[in-house]
């Protein structure tokens, strides 16, 4: 099932009850977009939308095949944090 695009550069598709695919097109040189996705210091600057009130507190990334990542989020309205981690990158 495809959901309507959220804007002209982003599409969202629900593959199953547990899988959601978000595709986004960036208008920029491939090298810079790749660095923004793979360098933790750059990734932290843009990943969490400012309007959400959430911030990305820590970001650990090993973007090689077989690598891992861990993202830890905080929210201005809470003292608790939330972390997402994956043991293997694809």
Q: Are residues 52 and 90 in the same domain?
A: yes
Task: Give domain status of residue 65, yes or no.
Answer: yes
71-87: pLDDT as tens digits: 998 887 888 888 878 87
pTM greater than the 0.75 cutoff: no
**Position of tokens 């660095």?**
35
* The pLDDT of residue 35: 93
Quick one: tokens of 29?
Answer: 């040189």
42-64: pLDDT as tens digits: 988 888 777 778 888 899 999 88
Confidence class for position 3, pLDDT limits 50, 70, 90: very low
C-alpha torsion 41→44→50→52, nearest 10: -170
* The pLDDT of residue 76: 79
Cα 29 to the center of its chain, rounded Å: 19
Task: Give domain status of residue 43, yes or no.
Answer: no
Q: Give the domain extent around 22.
A: 1-38
Task: Give domain status of residue 71, yes or no.
Answer: yes
Quick one: tokens of 22?
Answer: 């978000």
Longest dimension (CA), the chain: 38
Question: Structural domain tally of the chain?
Answer: 2
């Amino acid at each position: 099932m495809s959901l309507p695009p959220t804007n002209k550069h982003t599409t969202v598709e629900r593959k199953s009850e547990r899988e959601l695919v978000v595709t986004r097109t960036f208008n920029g040189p491939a090298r810079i977009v790749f660095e923004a996705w793979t360098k933790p210091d750059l990734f932290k600057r843009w990943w969490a939308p400012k309007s959400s009130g959430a911030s990305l507190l820590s970001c650990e990334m090993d973007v090689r095949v077989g690598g891992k990542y861990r993202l830890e989020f905080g929210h201005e309205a809470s003292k608790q944090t939330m972390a997402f981690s994956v043991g293997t990158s694809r």
